[in-house]
Amino acid sequence: MKHLSLILIFTGLIFSAIAGDKFTTDENLKWAENSGWNNEWSQTDFSKASLNFRAIISGGPPKDGIPSIDQPNFIPVAEETRIADTEPVISVFINGLGRAYPLRYLMFHEIVNDTFQGKPLAVTFCPLCNSSVVFERILNGEAVEFGTTGKLHHSDLVMYDRKTESWWQQYNGTAIVGELIGAKLKPVASRLESFKLFKQRFPDGDILTAPAGFGRSYGYNPYAKYDSSERPFLYMGDYQGAIPALSRVVVIGDVGYSLKYLAAIKLLEQNDLRITWAAGQNSALDSREIAKGKDVGNIIVQKMQDGAWQDVPYLVSFAFAYKAFYPEKSIITK
């Protein structure tokens, strides 16, 4: 691991020196040709991009090498007996009904293309950034599926839509390469919470079951002790922040709050915003077995709308990712 850390640090220094923010379309097109992207991505318009292609690296797997879940199956929560009460799930609430997507499955698939209460959803999770976001998977009024490119930008999952094969940043739902460059996916309010809390809120809700035929070690974390590492994996940028790079940050819009700070005060109310923290949720990126991970707690983010507190979109990510995508912002720690 020491050798790996040294390699990553050295590579990061080189990357910082050569990548930068400046690029030309010709340089990008040459990069796409020399890297073999043109062969793998014949439908992607590489003449349209918002970043230097040198900033995009391979995470290892090829296109769809991390397979999205495109035909999800669900069971009533009362029938789910394999998942511990403290395991994390991404939950959505639409028209009075709740649905849960356990991180034990998203750890290995990263995207679930689902339709819930008539709304097409892309439920996404990037393990390297610890970022879980739910989007409406609608482009120009049409429902589309999303898959994994096998590429990373700032260590974050780069997705693609299966209509135009444009590339999308999972962290903020923005198209960064291709025909739809600059377009943004609409986030859907969701929670990252323990299975126990979800069951309490929605005793008649349903939950995603293990996809058949993939042979993955569901329930186990392939990135053991990752969230206590000194440096993020496959991250080639610099990090300068008031808290460690792998500390958790609650991100609402472009504002980031230290999870440690929120856990200490348990309740933060600012104008029409309310954030609460409660114990009882395992980290998915700590212990080899997710159900034995350290307790990082549950976050609820709500705003006063139409006279009632209502859930709003947020994500819990690592500090380095927040600073990578919002470099001018400071993490609120007190």
Q: In the predicted model, what is the mean pLDDT of residues 145-159?
A: 98
In a domain, 84, yes or no: yes
Each residue's pLDDT tens digit, 87-113: 999 999 999 999 999 999 999 999 999
In a domain, 113, yes or no: yes
Report the alpha-carbon distance of residue 83 to residue 102 in Å, rounded. Answer: 8
In a domain, 288, yes or no: no
pLDDT for the residue 20: 52
pLDDT for the residue 202: 98
Q: In the predicted model, what is the mean pLDDT of residues 257-267?
A: 98
Q: Is the pLDDT of residue 3 over 60?
A: no
In a domain, 120, yes or no: yes
In a domain, 296, yes or no: no
Q: Model's pTM, two decimal places?
A: 0.93
Q: Is the pLDDT of residue 186 over 50?
A: yes
In a domain, 230, yes or no: no
User: Domain of 186?
Assistant: 74-208
pLDDT for the residue 17: 36
Comparing 309 with 12, the larger pLDDT belongs to: 309
How sure is the predictor about 22, in pLDDT bands with cuts at 50, 70 and 90?
confident
Each residue's pLDDT tens digit, 287-314: 999 999 999 999 999 999 989 999 999 9
Q: In the predicted model, what is the mean pLDDT of residues 190-203?
A: 98
In a domain, 88, yes or no: yes
In a domain, 96, yes or no: yes
Report the alpha-carbon distance of residue 303 to residue 199 in Å, rounded. Answer: 23
CATH code for the domain in which residue 183 is found = 2.102.10
pLDDT for the residue 10: 35
| 77 phi, psi to nearest 5 deg | -60, -30
Question: Alpha-carbon Rg of the chain, whole angstroms?
Answer: 19
Q: How many domains does the chain have?
A: 1
Q: In the predicted model, what is the mean pLDDT of residues 33-47?
A: 97
Q: Degrees (nearest 5) of the Cα angle 252, 134, 209?
A: 135
